[in-house]
Amino acid sequence: MRRLNPWLHILIGCLLAITLFSCTEKVKTEEERQKEQLERTRTGVSYFGANCMSLYYLWTEEISPELSSWLSRDQTTDPIKKVQAIRYKQGGKDYDRWTEMTDDFEAFSSSVEGISTTYGCDITLMQVGASSVQAVITVVYAGSPAAQAGLKRGDIIARIDDKEMTTLNYYKLVTDQFLYSPECRLGLLDPDTGKPDREVTMTAVTMYEDPVVYHSVFQIGGKKVGYLVYTAFTLRSIDALLAVCEEFKSAGISELILDLRYNSGGYVTTEEALASMLAPKEAVRSGALFEQEIYNGALTQFFIKEYGSDALKTFFKTDFSWEDGVIPSSCNTRSGHLDLDKIYAIIDSGTASASESILVGLMPYMDITLIGGQSHGKFCTGIMYGAEEWYNDYKDDLGSDLFAYRKEVKNWGLYVMIGRYADRNGNCPAMPDGLKPDYAAEDRPDLGYDFGDERDPMLQQALILAGRTDLIAAVATRSASPGPDKMPLQVRRPEFGKRIQKRPAAVR
């Protein structure tokens, strides 16, 4: 038998080893590919989050140790929880309840614009008895699946897809199915008997929910009082607000009932536009100081250096421009300027952010009476910053190795508190726990009174203060509505507590 050359043995062995090594590497790479991709995403998101907060966060100095640790590549397995863990706290509790990271920045941004996949209604959870939970409809948006199904404010939902809501399952049923599933079947109660009444089936659609929900004019003695229900400061609603104010102006109103009980905030631009329509004429004509913004020390110095001290101030004006998505828009609010004497503001725990801010800014200029319950206490202003945008903005500072993480962070983003607002005198009565009502009134959507109905307890209190002497306290007439206690968790829009400022240029 012919023997092989010893060198051939060595060559074959090497080839075999290389083959086995390659196979092992291929199997290992295949098994760990997703894990490595996840690690790269976490690294890219963490680098973005730590640097973004170190530049823009209102409480950068207060959380300096945590930020330093994060900046030094203290990686986290969950960037969302990391942001929640390091945001500013007092006494062990979140003082900043709003800064948050998201892995679905597109949906987050759309929700703030008032666009979402929805059934087109808002609800409040209420507990009845020891364990039963009911969902009471508070707002139905025009043209929505809910409106087409015949749902209205005050309808009471007790079952979803043949399952009764209880204290054990209400959260999953309501948040996962009612708000986000493509289709649901709702079981409603008869308002008088408290027994099952009817079922409706709805399919969710992606739509814009017009926050200018209702408006009307009341004649009270020798004056006219406008009434406006407004649920979100979306950019698209500026034109609708102007149209309503033009109508109010034509009707000759001198006072306004501004119903913000379900308004969780929105864009600063919209807030400023509405304020310009409501404020006294002289304040708008002279361009008086409306509000001030307070930022962290480094950001304050940057803004003053780049734009002057007025960069920290907002003045009344009438010309506004914005981008609704990618569509540029503009308007002049002069035609809707009401020059009001008085505002009766209806507020509650759902009143947050821009809703609180507009009242704070107007208080030094006009008589504002607060009616309802204590507001949410969102005294901060935030910016929405997409991780991919951040990498593009700072690519010249990062170097190719770090910039390579840009592709790993697609659709991640941060809603970061950049500042807080104050009135022209530097005061903010909404900080830290919200605006307190001058006159208490309870929101009772379960009574079934639609917006504009004088029996609605909150509107009724406003009308009495405006001069209606013929009204008495609203009385619950439904046997199925004994005034159940509200659950600790109320279902709100995803943009709850949002006061959105246009993102400034990259700060260096």
Predicted confidence pLDDT, tens digits, the chain (508 residues): 444 454 444 444 444 444 544 544 455 566 677 788 888 888 899 999 999 999 999 999 999 999 998 888 666 678 999 999 999 999 888 999 999 999 988 877 777 777 777 888 888 888 777 778 888 899 999 999 999 999 999 999 888 888 888 877 776 555 544 455 578 888 998 877 778 889 999 888 888 999 999 999 999 999 999 999 999 999 999 999 999 999 999 999 999 999 999 999 988 999 999 999 999 999 999 999 999 999 999 999 999 998 898 989 999 999 999 887 667 899 999 999 999 989 999 999 999 999 999 999 999 999 999 999 999 999 999 888 999 999 999 998 888 888 888 888 989 999 999 999 999 999 999 999 999 999 999 999 988 899 999 999 999 999 999 999 988 654 444 444 444 454 444 443 434 455 656 666 667 6
**Same domain, yes or no, for 247 and 263?**
yes
Quick one: 223 and 199 in the same domain?
no
In a domain, 166, yes or no: yes
* Residue 62 to residue 53: CA distance in whole angstroms: 12
- Give the burial class of 347: count Cβ atoms within 10 A of its Cβ; 0-12 exposed, 13-18 middle, 19 or more buried: buried
Domain-embedded: residue 402: no
Q: Report how far residue 508's alpha carbon sits from residue 506's, in angstroms, rounded to the nearest whole number.
A: 6
Give the pair of three-digit tokens for residue 397: 């500072």
Domain final residue, candidates 208, 233, 257: 208
- Position 301 in a domain: yes
Asked if 225 and 287 sit in the same domain, the reply is: yes
Per-residue confidence (pLDDT) for residue 127, from 0 to 100? 78
Residues 165 and 246 in one domain: no
Strand pairing report for 413-422 and 289-294? antiparallel
- 197 with 299, same domain: the answer is no
Question: Are residues 240 and 314 both part of a single domain?
Answer: yes
Place of tokens 């099952």: 196
Of 176, 191, 208, the one marking the end of a domain is: 208
Model pLDDT, residue 27: 55
What string of DSSP letters covers 178-233?
ITTSSEEEEEEEPTTT-SEEEEEEEE-EEEE--SEEEEEEEEETTEEEEEEEE--B
In this prediction, residue 341 carries a pLDDT of 85
Tokens, residue 389: 């945008």
346 and 466 housed in the same domain: yes
> What is the β-pairing status of strands 115-118 and 100-102?
unpaired
> What CATH number does the domain containing 228 carry?
3.90.226.10
**Within this chain, do residues 440 and 334 fall inside the same structural domain, yes or no?**
yes
Query: Does residue 84 belong to any structural domain of this protein?
Result: no
User: Has residue 196 been placed in a domain?
Assistant: yes
**Which tokens go with 466?**
């405006």
Write down which residue in 208, 239, 261 finishes a domain: 208
Is 497 inside a domain boundary? no
CATH number at residue 165: 2.30.42.10
Question: 357 and 424, same structural domain?
Answer: yes
Residues 327 and 472 in one domain: yes
Range of the domain at 427: 212-380+420-478
Q: Using CA atoms, how far apart are residues 186 and 204, in angstroms rounded to an integer?
A: 13
**Rounded Cα distance, 497 and 8, in Å:** 75
Using a 10 angstrom Cβ sphere, with 0-12 exposed, 13-18 middle and 19 or more buried, the burial of residue 415 is buried
Residue 291 lies in a domain: yes
Instruction: Please give the pLDDT value at position 75.
Output: 61
Please indicate, yes or no, whether residues 167 and 234 belong to a single structural domain of this protein. no
DSSP 3-state of 15:
helix
Q: Which amino acid is at 139?
A: V
Contact 389, 27 (CB under 8 A): no
Domain tally for the chain?
A: 2
Q: Are residues 187 and 300 in the same domain?
A: no
Q: Of 275, 277, 134, whose CA–CA distance to 197 is shortest?
A: 134
Beta bridge partners of 383: 416
233 within some domain: yes
The sign of the dihedral angle between the CA atoms of 444, 446, 452, 453 is negative
Quick one: angle between helices 64-71 and 6-56, nearest 10? Answer: 160
